Chains A and B, each alone.
Chain A
Amino acid sequence: MAQSEPRTLFEKIWEAHLVSAETEETPAVLYVDLHLVHEVTSPQAFAVLRERGLKVRRPERTVATMDHSTPTTPGRFVVEDAQCAAQLAELQANCSEHGIELHALGSEQQGIVHVIGPEMGLTQPGMTIVCGDSHTSTHGAFGAFAFGIGTSEVAHVLATQCLLQRRPRTLEVRVEGRLRPGVSAKDLILAVIARLGMAGGAGHVIEYSGPAIRALSMEERMTVCNMSIEAGARAGLIGPDDATFQYLAGRPRAPRAEAWEEALALWRTLTSDPGARYDRSLTIDAAALEPTVTFGTNPSMSAPVVGAVPDPQSLQEPASRAALERALEYMGLRPGQRLLGHPIEVVFIGSCTNSRLEDLRAAASLLRGRKVAPRVRVLVVPGSRQVKRAAEQEGLDQVFREAGAEWREPGCSMCIAMNGDQLRPGQAAVSTSNRNFEGRQGPGGRTFLASPLTAAAAAIKGAIADPRELLR
């Protein structure tokens, strides 16, 4: 493509990383700048290297952490589950054998893989970033092309620093206006997913644009990009701007001095050119959005907290009707029922979607001086050790404890329910995580996805609640 032709941000990153372009017969060979690794999806990939006698091509472009299967019990870093312990030990051994930087359980930089990458300044504009985790799209908030891969592909990247890929199509999600008070980035992305549907983004990279996106902080942008996969998209990204550069300046792994100036000059070119064409476009009005909660068993089934549960009879298509019927039965909800006041037993504030300092501040702003409702269990799980430390310096841990919430160690916790933190069958939870699939937070558990503000409001009321009532 000629340089003069206007290109999207995604196209610029794609073309800069082509080792060889795709043909009809073969996919493109795409170079990977940063490979993030965790304990659950990597052991079988390292095994492939052992089977074939291969080395890690660029260990210095590979960074590992422990997050999915680690316990979050306050003050303890003891893994009681023997299988989890063995999996963690294997990661440790693999990283040590191949010379890969590892942030192990209990260490200073440990945390959820998608929290520590940005926090350390590893995640930078224009990069290609992969990880054996579908929420790798989080890093797109910095104007990187970041996407989740399977374990076979983890082996490919370890061995060759490359992946075979067909070029995805582009989808612009333009968000006009401004979010109103009490309405957050989480509500925005839930609305986008509801509009696109679970497969609406399939085969596409989403670029989020428009004034409402520009007005978001970096942490809010991460929340938006994080859930791109819930609309089936390959990745989500946002063009870098001054907010991006300010976030990165001075981070431990960000470029310094002259290298910083050079990087900045390059990063400023990473925007979609005027007139660049997207394969598809969608426009959303931020001002029309309200605090939102999911009522079903996938993230596209959401409604404003002040709304009602939809009636399956209103759906024409038999398969969709049956799916909604099954979802409502699983969730213990009746068609037409109001969402406000629906009782809940657990609140989970955490996950790669909403466990950063601003998320914790938002939740604390409602919990300060208030109490968690009787018989409601509230888990607050910071995304990383650094987030935990920063929150404690601001006294947020005190706010949570005094309100009656648990202040836990960093990890994926109840988002993935393979580390000891999970719902009991039938329990209803408002969670700031990203998936409300059947059994996601424990067999039989019922998940209502929401923002940290809405989750905190639910903790106080013991039911689905409108955070705007408590903000007044």
Chain B
Amino acid sequence: MEPFKTLESRTVVVARPDIDTDQIIPARFLKGTTRTGLGKHLFAGWPDFPRDEGARVLVAGPNFGCGSSREHAAWALVDYGFRAVVSSSIADIFRANALKNGLLPVAVDEAMHRRLVARPGARVIIDLAQRTLEFEGARVTFAIDPFARRCLLDGTDELGFLLAQQNAIAAHEKERAC
């Protein structure tokens, strides 16, 4: 995975709350067996989705990515060109899936969220090392799991870390007779 450092981009705004993964990528596009080529089906059921192929940052309403665990939602957003999703809250499974695909989930406070929603197409600068999002001269910090942040900054993935735990896993299996 390509390391994630800083990202400067204009935004695309979808302000609705509770955008579920069925909206991000409907189930009828889940029949494939690869991770690629899903960008063209992003928000397939939304004729009003503001398409902007050059934008890298999606600003969305609260509880973005709720519903199904389909990682296809993260794959579709990345394939379309997004590298970050900014909201006031992001659903748990989607957040985990996004992090594993170099798509940075950024939860900002409600005041900043309102400002971003009100200005579609505005430029933002996201600095992962500093954990900051900058917009129209204002800068907010966002929370991110330190381990996930390290993986993104280094461009590594969790599987490598888990594979290095083989001895501890074997010991657990022995101790618990499982």
Q: Is A160 a contact of B162 with CB atoms below 8 Å? A: yes
Q: Give the distance in Å from the alpha carbon of A417 to the alpha carbon of B92 in the complex.
A: 24
Contact A31 B71 (CB under 8 A): no
A19 and B169 contacting across the interface, CB-CB below 8 Å: yes
Verify if A27 is at the interface (C-beta below 8 Å from B).
Answer: yes
Among A57, A151, A198, A439, the residue within 8 A (CB) of B18 is A198
Question: Are the C-beta atoms of B159 and A150 separated by less than 8 Å?
Answer: no
Given A41-B70, A153-B96, A438-B45, residue A160 in contact with residue B172 (CB < 8 A)? no
A110 to chain B, nearest CB (A): 19
**Residues in chain B near residue A281, CB distance under 8 A:** none
Q: Contact at A69–B169, with CB atoms within 8 Å?
A: no
B166 contacts across to A, CB distance below 8 A: 160
- Structural contact, B159 and A159, CB atoms closer than 8 A: yes
Residues of A with C-beta under 8 A to B176 = 16, 31
- The yes or no answer to A166 lying at the interface (CB within 8 A) is yes
The reply on A394 being an interface residue by CB < 8 A is no
Residues in chain A near residue B70, CB distance under 8 A: 40-41, 150
Nearest-CB residue, chain B, relative to A24: B146
Residue of B nearest to A25 (CB): B146
Interface size, B (range): 35 or more
Contact B169 A148 (CB under 8 A): no
B165 within 8 A of A: yes
- Tell me how far the C-beta of A390 lies from the nearest C-beta in chain B, rounded to whole angstroms: 29
Interface residues of A in 57-71 (CB under 8 A from B): 57, 68-69
Q: Is the CB of A149 within 8 A of B93?
A: yes
For the complex, give the distance between the alpha carbons of A81 and B146 in Å: 44
Evaluate contact between A150 and B27: CB separation under 8 angstroms: no
Report how far A31 CA is from B175 CA in the complex, Å.
Answer: 12
A215 at the B interface (CB under 8 A): no
- Residues from chain A with a CB closer than 8 A to the CB of B33 are 43-44, 47, 86-87, 90
The interface size of chain A toward B, counting residues with CB under 8 Å, comes to 67
B34 and A418 within 8 A (CB): no
Measured CB to CB, the nearest residue on chain B to A49 is B159
A97 CB to closest chain B CB (Å) equals: 14
Q: Distance (Å) between the CB of B160 and the closest chain A CB?
A: 9
With CB as the reference atom, state the residue of chain B lying closest to A199.
B63
A298 near B165: Cβ-Cβ < 8 Å: no
Task: Compute how far the CA of A64 lies from the CA of B2 in the bound complex, rounded to whole angstroms.
Answer: 33
What residues on B are CB-neighbors of A90 within 8 Å?
33
Does A4 have its Cβ within 8 Å of any Cβ on chain B? no
Given B23, B63, B145, which contacts A198 in the complex, CB threshold below 8 Å? B63
Q: Are A418 and B147 in contact (CB under 8 A)?
A: no
Structural contact, B27 and A319, CB atoms closer than 8 A: no
28 A/B residue pairs, CB under 8 Å, sorted by A = A19-B168, A20-B168, A25-B150, A27-B145, A31-B173, A44-B71, A83-B32, A132-B69, A132-B71, A134-B68, A151-B71, A152-B101, A152-B158, A153-B96, A155-B159, A160-B165, A164-B161, A164-B162, A199-B18, A199-B66, A319-B15, A319-B17, A323-B16, A323-B17, A437-B20, A437-B67, A438-B22, A440-B22
